[in-house]
Amino acid sequence: MADPASLAGDRIRIGLTAVVVAADEATPYVLVTGGADGLASLPFGPFDPVGDPTLELSLRRWVSEQTGFDIGYVEQLYTFGDRGRDAPLPAAGQGGMRSISVGYLALTPERSDLQRDDARWREWYRHFPWEDWRGGRPACIGGAIAPALWQWASNDPAKQEARRMRIRLSFALDGAPWNEERALDRYELLYEAGLTAEAAQDKARQHGLCPREAFAQPEAFGAPMASDHRRILATAIARLRAKIKYRPVIFELTPDLFTLSQLQRVVESVSGLELHKQNFRRLLDRTGLVEGLGRFEARTGGRPAELFRFRRESLLERPAGGVNVPAPRG
Amino acid sequence: MADPASLAGDRIRIGLTAVVVAADEATPYVLVTGGADGLASLPFGPFDPVGDPTLELSLRRWVSEQTGFDIGYVEQLYTFGDRGRDAPLPAAGQGGMRSISVGYLALTPERSDLQRDDARWREWYRHFPWEDWRGGRPACIGGAIAPALWQWASNDPAKQEARRMRIRLSFALDGAPWNEERALDRYELLYEAGLTAEAAQDKARQHGLCPREAFAQPEAFGAPMASDHRRILATAIARLRAKIKYRPVIFELTPDLFTLSQLQRVVESVSGLELHKQNFRRLLDRTGLVEGLGRFEARTGGRPAELFRFRRESLLERPAGGVNVPAPRG
DNA sequence: TCAAAAGTGTTATCCTTACACCCATGT
DNA sequence: ACATGGGTGTAAGGATAACACTTTTGA
C-alpha cells in the first residue's frame, strides 16, 4: 500500500476562488469572468506555495494582477473539496488530479473599473432570484420552486417528512419565518433536489454522459455558474448577511460619504429585506459607528440629506457590532 | 517563468487537523497525542485525494482508524497555510514542500476509550488558562498577561495606541466587557506579542536558530502545543462558544440523559462563564429543545433532579437556536 | 435539624417594533 | 400648493437579568 502522505503530495492542487462583492443602492454585484458567451465563473487562480507566504496574500496578489485593483477587506469562507463538484480540469493530461479550492470573500467599496475585457460585475440576484425579498415574497418561490421541491420530497416516502420540514424552514413555507442568512441551505437543498443546472451537469459528468444544455429555467432557479461556483457564492451571501449584523463590514461596501438612506438601501440590497427606516437609524446611532458631517447632499425631489461617514476609530473603542436586521414575519 | 498551476500541484500537501472535543461538568477536553513526554499535538493526517470523495469523509475515516471511535458532529473550521507557522516536516528529503492544513471541529458526547497509547484527553484550559472565568477573572490576566502586553504595546510608539485598545478589548481591561467568543483574538494577540512559546519557536526556526526550551511560564501563558495547533484549538474554542448560542450543538457533548444542572455546567465549562440558574432554565424551556422524562436521578447531597433529554425532533420543527449565554459585566 | 442542591414566582429594565407625525426642498 | 424624501417622538410589547423564595433529599 502506498504511503498516503507522499501520495497526497502529488495529486492535489490548491486553487483560490474569490467572491468579490460590490453593492449599490439597487443591488449587490459579484465579479465574474466569461459571463457573456458561456457560463459565468468566479475569478480563481492557483495558490503559489513558493512565492506567497500566506493564502490570503496569494489571493490579493493575483486579484490585483488580474483585475487591476486592490481588494481591501478579505476573509476566508470555506474550503471545498468534494469530488464531482470540483472544477473539471482543462484537459492537460492530468489524469486523476484532485482540485481543492479555498473560497474567499472580498468586499470593495465601489464597482471599480475592470482591466480585463471578460471580467464584469454581475447582479447577484440573477443567480439567486429567490433571495430578494425586498418587494415581498418573490413569485418564483410559490410559482416554481415550492411545487418542484414538494414533488422531490414525495419521491422518497422514507425521507418525505424530513425533506418537507427542510423545505418549509428553508423557504419560509406554511408560516415559517424567512431567514435571509440561510442562503447556502437553500442552494444546497435545490442542488440536492436536482433543481439546479449544476446538479444535472455534475450527475452527467459522473456518469460520463453529455450534459444537457440549459436545464432549469433561469428565471425561477437562477442562472447557473461554472463548476461549484454558485455554491461558493451562496456561502458568501450567507456569511455576509450574517456578518453585517455583528461586525461593521457593511462600510467596506459603501463610499466614504453616504446618507443614511443610501446606507440603509445598501444593507437592504445585501440582506434582501426591507428595513424600517427609523429603527434602522436609531439602532445605528446607538452603535456610534457613524458620524454626521453637517454637510448636505443636493437630492432630486426631496429634502437634502445629511452626509455621514463611518467612524473607523470606533473599531478600537468597543466590541464593535454591526447593523441590525430585524427578522421579518412570514 | 514556470506555469504556477503545475507548480502548485507538486509542492503542496494537504493535512487534516482535528479538534476533537468532549466535555464534562468540570471542564472541556481536547484529544491530543504525544502530550506526556514532549509537546502535545492535535491528531492530524493526510487527505487522501484518491480514496476519499470529500474532505470530511477523509477526516472521519482516519480519526476512526487512529482512535477506534466514530466521531459524530463535524464541522470545518478554517484552512491554515501560513509559511513559518505550519508543521516542520518530518525530515523526509522533501525540500520546500508546503503544508496546508484544514482544521475541523468534532464533538463527542463523552470521553470514549482511546485505542492508542499516546492519545489522551487534555483539559483545554491547560492551554488557555486565561479563558476560564468561572471563578471570576483569572489571576493570570492581571498577574502576568496584562503587564507583559502593556510592555509590548509601549515598545512601538507608533502602534502603541492601537495595541492598547486591542489589549483592552481582548482581555477586558479598564472596564471593557469580557467576550468569551474572542478566544482566537486573544491567542493571536499573545502570539503577535511574542508571549507564547510557539512564537519564540517559529521565530527561531525562521532564523535557523535552535529554539529555546520552555519559553514562557505555562501557568500564565498556557501549555504550548506543536506547530500551530494551539491556534487551531483557539479557533475551535471561539467557534464552539459562538455556536452554542445559535445552534443546539451543546447536546453533541452531553450524554443522552442529563439533569438541567448538568447541562448548565457543561455550557459553563465550554463558555468559561458562570450562568444564572433560573434564567438558563427559562431560556431553555422557551426553546423547546429539551423534554423532562419524569424520572429522577439519585444525587449525593441534595434533592433528586429530573432527567431530561434533547428532543432531536425539535431540529425539524423550527429554526432551532441554541442556549443563550448572557454577557457578563466587567 | 441543617446543609446542599433542585426548582419556582415576580419584578425592573432594556430593547425592539411599530405607529404617527413634522421638516425641507424642487416643481 | 403639493409631492418627495429626510428626519423625529413616543408608546406597546417582549425579552433579559436579577431578586428572593420554596422544596426535597442526605447526613
Q: Say whether A96 and B50 touch across the interface (CB within 8 A).
A: yes
Is A285 within a domain?
yes
Q: How far apart are CA B40 and CA B43, in angstroms?
A: 9
| A300 in the same domain as A256 | yes
The values of phi and psi at residue A290, to 5°, are: -120, 165
Q: Report if CB B115 to strand D is under 7 Å.
A: no
3-class secondary-structure state, position B186: helix
Domain final residue pick, B208, B224, B240:
B224
Convert B215-235 to b/e letters by CB count within 10 Å (16 or more is b): bbeeebbbbbbbbbbbbbbbb
| B113 in the same domain as B50 | yes
Taking only the tens place, the pLDDT of each residue in B137-178 is 999 999 999 999 999 999 999 999 999 999 998 999 988 888
| A103 in the same domain as A8 | yes
Contact indicator for B172, B142 with CB cutoff of 8 Å = no
- Scan for cell 432554565, then name that residue: B281
Closest residue (Cα, C1') to D8? A278
Domain final residue pick, A85, A106, A122:
A122
- Residue B141 lies in domain: 136-224
Q: How far is CA A296 from the centre of its chain?
A: 33
Judging contacts by C-beta atoms under 8 Å, the chain A residues touching residue B14 are 8, 12, 14, 100
| B19 in the same domain as B113 | yes
> Would the CA dihedral through A42, A46, A49, A53 be positive or negative?
negative
Chain B residues contacting A, CB < 8 Å?
A: 4-5, 7-14, 45-51, 53-55, 76, 78-79, 81-84, 94, 96-98, 100, 102, 161-162, 165-166, 169, 176-177, 179, 316-319
Q: How far apart are CA A230 and CA A35, in angstroms?
A: 13
Strands across the sheet with A257-259, in order? A257-259, A305-310, A290-297
According to the model, what pLDDT value does residue B132 have?
A: 95
Q: Domain with A254 in it: what CATH number?
A: 1.10.10.10
According to the model, what pLDDT value does residue A6 have?
A: 40
| A112 in the same domain as A91 | yes
| A78 in the same domain as A148 | no
Q: How far is CA B31 from the centre of its chain?
A: 11
Q: What letter would DSSP give residue B329?
A: P
Count how many residues are written for chain B. 330
According to the model, what pLDDT value does residue B7 have?
A: 41
Q: Report if CB B283 to strand D is under 7 Å.
A: yes
Chain A residues contacting B, CB < 8 Å?
A: 4-5, 7-14, 45-50, 53-55, 76, 78-79, 81-84, 94, 96-98, 100, 102, 161-162, 165-166, 169, 176-177, 179, 316-319
| A95 in the same domain as A163 | no
| A264 in the same domain as A196 | no
Positions on chain C within 7 A of a protein C-beta:
3-10, 16-20, 23-27
User: What is the block-wise mean pLDDT of chain A (330 residues), using blocks of 10 residues?
Assistant: 41 89 94 82 89 92 82 96 73 62 93 74 96 92 96 97 92 88 96 93 73 63 94 97 90 93 92 90 86 82 88 73 60
Is B325 within a domain?
no
| B65 in the same domain as B148 | no
Determine how many CB atoms are found less than 10 A away from the CB of residue B242: 19
Is A323 within a domain?
no
What are the grid coordinates assigned to B49, written together?
485525494
Is A234 within a domain?
no
Closest by Cα among A240, A232, A267 to A73: A240
Q: Which residues of chain B have pLDDT under 50?
A: 1-9, 90-94, 214, 329-330
Measured CA angle at A310 (ends A307, A316), to 5 deg: 155
Q: Where are the beta strands (DSSP E) in chain A?
A: 12-23, 28-33, 44-46, 73-80, 98-107, 119-123, 257-259, 290-297, 305-310
Is B232 within a domain?
no
| B208 in the same domain as B145 | yes
Domain final residue pick, B106, B125, B144:
B125
Nearby residues of A295 by Cβ (< 8 Å), 6 or more positions away: A257, A306, A307
Q: How far apart are CA A49 and CA B83, in angstroms?
A: 9
3-class secondary-structure state, position B121: strand
Convert A34-45 to b/e letters by CB count within 10 Å (16 or more is b): ebeeebbbbbbb
| A163 in the same domain as A86 | no
What are the grid coordinates assigned to A119, written together?
471580467
Measured CA angle at A156 (ends A155, A157), to 5 deg: 115
Strands across the sheet with B257-259, in order? B257-259, B305-310, B290-297
Q: What letter would DSSP give residue B40?
A: B
Q: How far apart are CA A12 and CA A162, in angstroms?
A: 36
Q: How far apart are CA B258 and CA B270, in angstroms?
A: 16
Q: Say whether A76 and B79 touch across the interface (CB within 8 A).
A: yes
According to the model, what pLDDT value does residue A205 have?
A: 76
| Least CB–CB distance from A8: residue in B5, B7, B46 | B46
Q: How far apart are CA B108 and CA B37, in angstroms?
A: 26
Taking only the tens place, the pLDDT of each residue in B47-67 is 988 888 899 999 999 888 887
| B120 in the same domain as B28 | yes
Q: Say whether B12 and A9 touch across the interface (CB within 8 A).
A: yes
Distance between the alpha carbon (CA) of A323 and the C1' atom of D8, Å? 20
Count of domains for chain B: 3
Is A104 within a domain?
yes
Residue B72 CB burial class (10 angstroms; 0-12, 13-18, ≥19): exposed
| Least CB–CB distance from B11: residue in A50, A83, A319 | A50
Q: What letter would DSSP give residue B180?
A: T
Is A236 within a domain?
no
| Least CB–CB distance from B81: residue in A4, A5, A55 | A55
Closest residue (Cα, C1') to D23? B303
Q: Domain with B74 in it: what CATH number?
A: 3.90.79.10
Is A327 within a domain?
no
Distance between the alpha carbon (CA) of B53 and the C1' atom of C18, Å? 51
Closest by Cα among A68, A49, A63, A58 to A18: A63
